[in-house]
Amino acid sequence: MRTLFSLLFLVLAFVLAFLLYKSIEEPIAFNAERAARTEAVSGKLEMIRSAQDLYRDITGEYAANFDTLKEVLTNGQLLSIRVVGDADAVDGGVVTYDTTYIAARDTVQGLGIVLEGMENVPYTGPEYDTPLVKFDIDAKQIEYQSTNVPVVQVGVRQSAFMGKYGDTKYQRYDQTYEPNQPIKFGDLSKPTLSGSWQ
């Protein structure tokens, strides 16, 4: 009888240890997966932000869709002005300006911008057993402090790329986690390119 109780307590101890392990494993897995996925998405958003900056240098505004963005960055040209002489000279020295155009695709490669699949959100698609999700993009002109300025916003809801962790039940592991909040850069109501992850 004493041996039976010892075996029951041993089994109970293993069951409790397993339950304790499982209660610790899920929050650790969630935090690790959230960090990896958020880093991948924010990295891609930073690349898109660089592409939008380059697009604005070429056209004076931001692209409202990815097709236009890719087209201009593939076929557009950047203005390059080289100053020959001392532009700050007060003695009347000769200054000339040499204006040339540079193919935008050369600059795109130099900045590490990958145009192929730029609109696709990381961790989505058939290889992750989810539908392929694309970033939301919008751009327009607004009046800001009595001046017309171009604005842009690109982002995606966190639940779209978090997979099984895109449920609100995982908020219990991190009070700041809002799966329906977007991770984005830019703002359609003011001229900024800051990212929500920064």
How many residues appear in the chain?
198
The model's confidence at residue 50, banded by pLDDT at 50, 70 and 90, is very high
pLDDT of 132-179, one tens digit each? 999 999 999 999 998 999 999 999 999 999 988 988 888 888 888 899
Contact 197, 38 (CB under 8 A): yes
Provide the pLDDT for residue 175: 87
Indicate the pTM of the whole model: 0.83
Q: Is 135 exposed, middle or buried (0-12, 13-18, 19+ CB in 10 A)?
A: buried
Q: How many other CB atoms sit within 10 Å of the CB of residue 162?
A: 21
Check residue 129 and give left, alpha or beta (phi > 0: left; psi -120 to 50: alpha): left
Mean pLDDT across 112-116: 92
Work out the angle at residue 26's Cα, subtended by the Cα atoms of residues 23 and 27, and round it to the nearest 5 degrees: 95
Sequence-distant (6+) residues with CB within 8 A of 46 are 185, 195
Give dist(CA 81, CA 89) in Å, integer.
18
